[in-house]
Amino acid sequence: MNVMPADARAGRVVVFDIGKTNLKLSLLDDDGSPLSEARRANRAVDAGLYPHFDVDAIWDWLLHELRQLREPDRIGSIITTTHGATVALLGDERLALPVLDYEFSGVNEIDAAYAPLRGDFGCTFSPALPCGLNVGRQMFWQARTFPDAFSRVRRILPYPQYWAWRLAGVAAGEITSWGCHTDLWDIGRGRLAPMVGKLGWHALFPPLREAGATLGTLRPEVAERTGLPAQCRVVCGIHDSNASLVKHLYGLPTPQTPLNVISSGTWALVAGVGAPLSVLDARRDMLANLDAWGRPVACARFMGGREFAVLNAQQADNCEWQDVATLVARGTLALPGFAPLGGGWPERRGEIRGPWPASPEQSYALASLYTALVTDDCLTRLASSGDIVIEGAFTANRHYATLLATLRPEQAVWVSDDRSGTTGGAYLLAARPLRYESPRARALPRPLAGLAEYVNRWRESVGA
């Protein structure tokens, strides 16, 4: 069992969650129960040198929302969790270059020069991904395209640690962000990959700190602007999918007890705790992440939230089981992929075969079928065994969980009662309770006429 040290600090916890689609600021009580939440859309700015995140606008929103929190004197810590594939290139106390949006395709222009520098998959367990999804490719493109600006870089910070630096003024690195398909980390040896030395970047990486480590207290000017206590701790922070995994590692008898956690939002990442890294196929968007304790975890992923939104274009918020049954009976198939990035079929473009959905609710049903089938494929490729736990946005979709339980009757499927597993995991790192139980409900299989034939047709169509 991964039990945190017995030096828990009293006080409420603020979790700043930066997703690719939304920003969220949550206040949690000492026991982890939610007290308040503020949200805002998060969009990249397509202007300037390249598409980037407006970190100053995000900062202003953060400070404003911190100012609104009730009973600020009871707040003991703040921690940030963010999407991956994003870094901040710091110069002397300010950004040397804008924080690049990883969906920017212009990065691809340096692929021929970059490819020979990348480490082998067996070293980094980082597949060659398009656009800026490999942070090493991002930075190589920035260094080649803006050499003068890149020469002013003094520190390279993962995105969660950039926000910790703005809050506390302490620069740090952290393993879950460096180990997340960056090309920058040697998974087996637990150190920076050889490419970092070849490019002369070693000195730009600040010391590693644990995700739950206290970096310091708030900068005086931040405490003054927000009304938070000057002694409020700033915790290092963590990559979002790994934050979702944290709370489930508390309950495991041993670190490698088989367990599968589906972290869902813009991306759906299936983490196979205990799965051998030998199952990973770099061609199918499979990779190894590092958990908060630095252990490799075999993963498969697809842009599940983005693809669901494309298929559910009429924005229905639910459907009936009969809508699912109708699509199965008609043989309506949604075949990957419906997002520009990610997934196990990078060569395919999404298509719908058979009669199209006849209502917004049927579109929602088709999106549910599609995401359940792709998740099932991810689990199969991971040689999945043990329980399956759904975290994040997909917990709101009752049919997704039922379909997954029906597709995998030999495994127990559970739905977390925390629709934002990232927030719960980040809270645990900051609060350090001695023990924690993650409430969840069992999803049960449900008979569906014709499903077996439907699934076989889907798998044959995609070559699964």
CATH superfamily of 245-462: ATPase, nucleotide binding domain (3.30.420.40)
- pLDDT at res. 4: 40
Closest CA to 99 of 84, 81, 80, 118: 84
The domain ranges of the chain are 12-241, 245-462
Query: Percent of the chain scored above 90 by pLDDT?
Result: 89
- pLDDT at res. 262: 96
Q: What is the pTM of this model?
A: 0.91
- pLDDT at res. 390: 96
Query: Percent of the chain scored above 70 by pLDDT?
Result: 97
| pLDDT mean across residues, the chain | 94
- pLDDT tens string 180-192: 999 999 999 999 9
Whose tokens are 């008979």? That residue is 447
CA distance 10 to 21: 32
Beta strands at 387-392 and 413-416: parallel, antiparallel or unpaired: parallel
Whether residue 256 contacts residue 271, with contact meaning beta carbons closer than 8 Å, is answered with: no
- pLDDT at res. 249: 85
- pLDDT at res. 439: 83
Residue type, 143: A
- pLDDT tens string 164-174: 999 999 999 99
On the question of pLDDT at 5 being above 80, the answer is no
- pLDDT tens string 373-416: 999 999 999 999 999 999 999 999 999 999 999 999 999 999 99
Query: Which secondary-structure segment (H or E) carries 87?
Result: strand 87-90
Q: How confident is the model at residue 256 (pLDDT cuts 50, 70, 90)?
A: low
CA distance 333 to 437: 39
- pLDDT tens string 435-464: 777 789 999 999 999 999 999 999 999 987
- Sequence-distant (6+) residues with CB within 8 A of 271 are 241, 244, 245, 260, 261, 262, 263, 289, 297, 298, 299
Which CATH number is 12-241's, of 3.40.50.300, 3.30.420.40, 3.10.20.310, 3.30.300.30?
3.30.420.40
- pLDDT tens string 319-353: 999 999 999 999 999 999 999 898 999 989 999 99
